[in-house]
Amino acid sequence: MNPELENYINQARAGGLANTAITHALKEAGWSESDISSAYEASSQVAIHANNVHKAFGKVRALSGITLRIPYGKVFALLGPNGAGKTTLVRILTTLLKPDWGEIKVAGLQLPRYEKQVRSLIGLTGQYVAVDETLTGRENLRLVGRLYHLPKTIVEMRANELLHDFGLQEAADRPVKTYSGGMRRRLDLAASLINRPQILFLDEPTNGLDPQSRNVLWRVIENLAREGVTILLTTQYMEEADHLADYIFVIDHGRLIAEGTPRNLKKQFGSSFLEIHLAKDASMNKAIEALRQLGELQIQKNEELDVITLPVGESSSLFLEAIRALDKENIPLIDVMLRHPTLNDVFLNLTGHEATSN
């Protein structure tokens, strides 16, 4: 693997050269076919590579050796509590901030060396909507297109496509100050797609949206993923990460503390448990004694809610055994539920507290 060759290929691609022209130039420069082939393969596999990235603001360490590798074509979620370093990492990956230490490649290009080229290949939607309220929706998209130095005809075509795709055609020529919060967020996301980015960064894209607007944005993100756009999103909504992400990174105090698919994380860091709601006239102590006959169980009780919980692990028979044990002692029940682990359970186990959203 030759980093210099990879950088050349990715830089040439960013400049609009076709692979045939790049290959011809490399052969003319004396590179062998095997070297060129290996470089093409390496440059096509990884969308984002961060290695041992550090960043501090004064005495506050925002990132302490983050390393992650993100291939093309999937949705990745970056989870962590407030102050974990999520936004700092996104700002570094999108060229808005320089790391103190570490190696970073985005779209195969080294940062900060190829900042300009990387900016032409990515899109970013930040935590806060960044649109001009005095302009219309269409004018906002035109403005972003001009900032990318796109031809006027391309800007008009993309603006029309995006306004249609995001359901904003009827409001396209209205000032943005008349838009709802959900409409503004959709316009903000549309603007980040004006240049057809290979990689899209979404920093808490649905924060503050009502459930209906959030569902609309989820569908938009799912459609982008189906079209092959690589997406890295940060979120504090665990159900959002579970619904959208193919793979999850969890960071806390500037460090990567876990990673995996949602299913594997729940299996590794969560556990299924039985939740038993006792009738008001039932004896909590008597119920617990009956359940202790089933073996060494970590039984928890909530006397205020008349609820007993116990982990079931891999045992599929414990559900029926518990009901039989309670029925044998004539203990009246209201409900019995088998609850499977959620990403919120994973988050709680890893960070020590539940996920919160402002």
What is the percentage of the chain residues whose pLDDT exceeds 70? 92
What's the pLDDT at 172? 96
Identify the CATH class of 50-262.
Answer: alpha beta
| Whole-angstrom distance, CA of residue 130 vs CA of residue 77 | 22
Q: How far is CA 290 from the centre of its chain?
A: 44
For the chain, what are the domain ranges? Answer: 3-45, 50-262, 271-340
| Whole-angstrom distance, CA of residue 167 vs CA of residue 91 | 29
Q: What single-letter amino acid sits at 92?
A: I
pLDDT per position as a tens digit, 50-101: 999 999 999 999 999 999 989 888 999 999 888 899 999 999 999 999 999 9
Identify the weakest region by mean pLDDT among 25-39, 53-67, 154-168, 321-335: 25-39
pLDDT per position as a tens digit, 212-226: 888 888 988 998 898
- Model confidence at 22, pLDDT cuts 50, 70, 90, reads confident
The 3-class secondary structure across the chain, one letter per residue, is CCHHHHHHHHHHHHCCCCHHHHHHHHHHCCCCHHHHHHHHHHHHHEEEEEEEEEEEECCEEEEEEEEEEEECCCEEEEECCCCCCHHHHHHHHCCCCCCCEEEEEECCEEECCCHHHHHCCEEEECCCCCCCCCCEHHHHHHHHHHHCCCCHHHHHHHHHHHHHHCCCCCCCCCEHHHCCHHHHHHHHHHHCCCCCCCEEEEECCCCCCCHHHHHHHHHHHHHHHHCCCEEEEECCCHHHHHHHCCEEEEEECCEEEEEECHHHHHHHHCCCEEEEEECCCCCHHHHHHHHHCCCCCCCEEECCCCEEEEECCCCCCHHHHHHHHHHHCCCCEEEEEEECCCHHHHHHHHHCCCCCCC
Residue 21 reports pLDDT greater than 90: no
Find, among 298, 307, 303, 295, the residue nearest to 336 by Cα: 307
- pLDDT average, residue stretch 127-131: 89
What's the pLDDT at 357? 45
pLDDT per position as a tens digit, 230-288: 999 998 888 999 999 999 999 999 999 999 999 999 888 877 888 899 998 888 899 99
What's the pLDDT at 338? 83
- pLDDT average, residue stretch 100-112: 92
| Whole-angstrom distance, CA of residue 358 vs CA of residue 354 | 13
More confident residue, 357 or 250: 250
Q: How far is CA 159 from the centre of its chain?
A: 26
Residue 145 reports pLDDT greater than 90: yes
The answer to whether the CB of 113 falls within 8 A of the CB of 99 is no
Q: What is the CATH number of domain 271-340?
A: 3.30.70.260
- Model confidence at 358, pLDDT cuts 50, 70, 90, reads very low
Identify the weakest region by mean pLDDT among 26-40, 115-129, 155-169, 223-237: 26-40
Mean predicted lDDT score pLDDT of the chain: 87
Identify the weakest region by mean pLDDT among 50-54, 69-73, 167-171, 312-316: 312-316
Distance of CA 336 to CAs 194, 274, 279, 293, Å? 51, 7, 11, 18
| Whole-angstrom distance, CA of residue 238 vs CA of residue 169 | 32
Identify the weakest region by mean pLDDT among 10-24, 97-111, 112-126: 10-24
Residue 16 reports pLDDT greater than 70: no
Supply 71's token pair: 């291939």
What's the pLDDT at 244? 95
